[in-house]
Amino acid sequence: MERRTIALVIVLVVTVVLLGVVAVMVFRAPGSQETKPQAPRVITVVDFSNRTVEVPVNASRVVAIGPGVLRLVAYLGALDKIVGVEDAEKSWSPLGRDYAMAYGDVFKNLQVIGPGGPRNPPNPELLRSVKPDIVLMSRVYVDVYDPDRLSQEVGAPVVVIDYGVAGYLNVTEFKRAITLLGRILGREARAQELAKYIDGVVDDLAQRVRVAKVAPSVYVGAVSYKGAQPFTGTQGMFPPLQLLKTRSIVDELGKKGFVNVDFEYILKKNPEYIFIDLNNLQTVLDDYKKDSAKYCALGAFKEGRVYALLPFNYYHTNVATALVDAYFMGKVLYPEQFKDVDPAKKADEIYRVFLGKPLYEEFVRGFGRGFGPLSDLFKC
């Protein structure tokens, strides 16, 4: 009896084991193998604050905060990933911010994630509410909010982005920024396309002026910078002129950045050509009406060589517009070398490459005029 009992137990055990094997075979697909759950795929990047950050691949929920960052996302054609925008993008006039002129309607339907502006700190609570996969943060904000702290508070990696000093065009830094963002946002081919295009533009401008025999004397007045600026508000190393290898009369002062010069200095230098930023044209007109004599003492005003420029410094450098201005200035200063260039058509070519839309006529409608002489307003 004991032997029979033992035999029955063995049979039962074998049967249970076999049934378990069959069950596993039934519930597993033929040919499948047991695999461990895969961790989300990430890539490691080094940002513009020299921080090493892990970011998810194929992130679909992205926010961009601080001056210039959303512009770069727009240039890369990745606005479909943006899930919230700063209040500044909704409340400020888009005129002069190329990406906002092109896609401001898109921003209207997105949730507000903070105040925006160069000096306002990010809002972790509002950022967290849109559940971003990645926060792209302007390096300007590093001075007012620690990115590692923000990452912990929002629960998402924060990548610091920059493309040079606001109001200037650093092509090397711009290409570095879009290359990094292209990798993060899955737009690497687009980043390469933009880098190649801007290299072509820079080379084209340099080649044209290389054969010019004489560099003209130039002054750029009322340059956009932190609100309304007078005629005497200018900029050393003005970016479009730098692209044309041409100096402004203020460059000899050795100051890079936004500076105010005495009117007497402009009178002394008496530049052949003067350009005025359309963003501050009314400020200049108001001053002209008060004392037209001092303006008419300048040869450029007397002889009709005063021209309008599109503003390109608005919530960081509008790269496309800076390139557009360079072609117009080249057309005025070096007519023989730029005789094949139609500034309006060239502008829309550049805007189409960067933003997929022509924008020149929007500038004209917004400011009431575009590129061209201002002799109808300043009569001497």
Q: 184 and 227: one domain? A: no
Does 231 lie in the same domain as 360?
yes
Bridge partners of 137, per DSSP, are 65, 160
Question: From first to last of its 380 residues, what are the pLDDT tens digits of the chain?
Answer: 444 444 433 333 334 333 343 333 333 333 334 444 455 699 999 999 999 999 999 899 999 999 999 999 999 999 999 999 999 999 999 999 999 999 999 999 999 999 999 889 999 999 999 999 999 999 999 999 999 999 999 999 999 999 999 999 999 999 999 999 999 999 999 999 999 999 999 999 999 999 877 789 999 999 998 777 999 999 999 999 999 999 999 999 988 889 999 999 999 999 999 999 999 999 999 999 999 999 999 999 999 999 999 999 999 999 999 999 999 999 999 999 999 999 999 999 999 999 999 999 999 999 999 999 999 999 99
Contacts within 8 Å (CB) and 24+ apart, 173-181: 174/198, 174/319, 175/199, 177/48, 177/72, 178/72, 178/75, 178/76, 180/45, 180/47, 180/48, 181/72, 181/73, 181/76, 181/78, 181/136
Residue 303: inside a domain, yes or no?
yes
Q: Count, in order, helices (H) and strands (E) of the chain.
A: 16, 13
| 192 and 47 co-located in one domain | yes
Domain membership flag for residue 33:
no
Flag whether 25 is in a domain: no
CATH number for the domain harbouring residue 296:
3.40.50.1980
pTM for this model (two decimals)? 0.88
The token duo for 77 is 């054609």
CA distances to 54, 83, 308 from 45, in Å: 6, 22, 42
What 3-state DSSP class applies to 293? helix
Strand ranges (E), 7-65: 42-46, 52-56, 62-65
Nearest to 324 by CA among 218, 221, 239: 239
- The three-state secondary structure class of 46 is strand
CA–CA separation, 83 and 182 (whole Å): 18
Residue 282 is assigned to a structural domain of this protein: yes
| 124/233 same-domain check | no
Beta bridge partners of 26: none
Residue 182, SS3 per DSSP: helix
Pairing of strands 62-65, 134-138: parallel
Contacts of 176 (CB under 8 A, 6+ apart): 163
What does DSSP assign to residue 338?
T
| Number of Cβ atoms within 10 Å of the Cβ of 179 | 15
Domain that holds residue 66: 42-196
